[in-house]
Amino acid sequence: AQTVTQSQPEMSVQEAETVTLSCTYDTSESDYYLFWYKQPPSRQMILVIRQEAYKQQNATENRFSVNFQKAAKSFSLKISDSQLGDAAMYFCAYRRFRSGGYQKVTFGTGTKLQVIP
Amino acid sequence: DAGITQSPRYKITETGRQVTLMCHQTWSHSYMFWYRQDLGHGLRLIYYSAAADITDKGEVPDGYVVSRSKTENFPLTLESATRSQTSVYFCASRLHRGGYEQYFGPGTRLTVT
C-alpha cells in the first residue's frame, strides 16, 4: 500500500526567507503523480504544485518548487521569498497513474507552516 | 457561482440524529469524493463516485451513506451521528481523464454532541 509521510508537524520561517517542507512516500509503482496542497485558515484546499514521476525535471510554480528524488522516494517543497500569505497547512499527496478509472489519492498528515514577520 | 460548494459550512448536531451534508459542483466533473479531515490523520476518503448512480467505498465508509442521482450533486448522510464523526468534511471533484488535481470545496465543520 502507498504511504505518504510528512515528518515535520510544524515549521516556521522568517518573512522573505526560504523554507523547505519534507515529504517521503512509499510505492512499488513506477508511474504516479505527486502533489502539494495548501490549506490556509479558510480551510480551502488549494493545489500548489504537481509532479509527474516520469518527468525528471523538477516542477516549479513561481516561488514554489519541488525537489523530486525518485530513487529516494522524496518530494520536498521549497518556498522562496516567504510571504505572510504562505502561512498554512501543507499536505503532500500521492496518486498512482492509470489512464482511466479511479485511483486513490493518499495524503500525508500535513505540515503547519508559520511565517514570522 | 461556478465551482464546488458545500453546505452547511458549520453544523452542530446531537448523537443519534441524521445529518446530510451537501456538495454541488458546476464543472460537470465525472468524479466526486468525500473526505474527512482529523488531526493526525490528514484526509481520509469516505466515499467516491465515478459518475451519476455509481458510488463506491473509500477508507472509512462505516456510518455514512451517499447517493448521486445527478452529476452535479453528491450528498453525504450520517444516518445516526456519533461523536467520532465530529470532523471537517471536504467534498472534491475531478475530471474523468488525466491524473490531475482534485478540486476541493470549502469544507463543513461538523460537531456531534
Q: Bigger pLDDT: A104 or A3? A: A3
The reply to whether residue B97 touches residue A100, judged by beta carbons under 8 angstroms, is yes
Per-residue pLDDT band at A1 (split at 50, 70, 90): low
Number of structural domains chain A divides into: 1
Number of structural domains chain B divides into: 1
How many percent of chain A have pLDDT more than 70?
Answer: 96
Contacts of B90 in chain A (CB under 8 A): 45
CATH at A35: 2.60.40.10
Does position B15 have pLDDT exceeding 80, yes or no?
A: yes
Contacts of B108 in chain A (CB under 8 A): none
Per-residue pLDDT band at B98 (split at 50, 70, 90): low
Residue B106 lies in domain: 4-112
Q: Which residue, chain included where needed, has cell 463516485?
A: B49
Q: Which residues pair with A50 in a beta bridge?
A: A35
The three cell numbers of residue A117 are 514577520
The three cell numbers of residue B56 are 463506491
Q: A56-69 pLDDT, tens per residue?
A: 899 999 999 999 99
Q: A30-55 pLDDT, tens per residue?
A: 889 999 999 998 888 899 999 999 88
CATH at B69: 2.60.40.10
Per-residue pLDDT band at B96 (split at 50, 70, 90): low
Q: How many CB atoms lie within 10 A of CB A36?
A: 26
The reply to whether residue A105 touches residue B97, judged by beta carbons under 8 angstroms, is no
Residues 6+ apart with CB under 8 A from B47: B33, B34, B55, B56, B57, B58, B61, B64, B66, B76
Q: Indicate which of A2, A10, A38, A45 best probes the interface with B, i.e. most B CBs within 10 Å of its own CB.
A: A45
Contacts of A108 in chain B (CB under 8 A): 42
Residue A55 lies in domain: 3-116
Phi, psi of B27 (to 5 degrees): -90, -5
Q: A67-117 pLDDT, tens per residue?
A: 999 999 999 999 999 999 999 999 999 988 776 667 788 999 999 999 999
Q: Indicate which of B23, B101, B104, B109 best probes the interface with A, i.e. most A CBs within 10 Å of its own CB.
A: B101
Closest CA to A97 of A35, A49, A46, A52: A52
Does position A11 have pLDDT exceeding 80, yes or no?
A: yes
Q: Over chain B, what HEC string results?
A: CCCEEEECCEEEECCCCCEEEEEEECCCCCEEEEEEEECCCEEEEEEEEEECCEEEECCCCCCEEECCCCCCECCEEECCCCHHHCEEEEEEEECCCCCCCCEECCCEEEEEC
Residues 6+ apart with CB under 8 A from A53: A29, A30, A31, A32, A33, A34, A68, A70, A97
Per-residue pLDDT band at B99 (split at 50, 70, 90): low
Give the pLDDT of residue B8: 96
Burial of A22 (0-12, 13-18, 19+ CB in 10 A): middle
Does position A3 have pLDDT exceeding 80, yes or no?
A: yes
Contacts of B58 in chain A (CB under 8 A): 104
The reply to whether residue B106 touches residue A42, judged by beta carbons under 8 angstroms, is yes
Nearest chain B residue to A33 by CA: give it: B99
The reply to whether residue A102 touches residue B40, judged by beta carbons under 8 angstroms, is no
The reply to whether residue B90 touches residue A45, judged by beta carbons under 8 angstroms, is yes
Mean pLDDT on B45-60: 92
Q: Evaluate whether B19 touches B77 at the Cβ level (below 8 Å).
A: yes
Contacts of B106 in chain A (CB under 8 A): 42-44
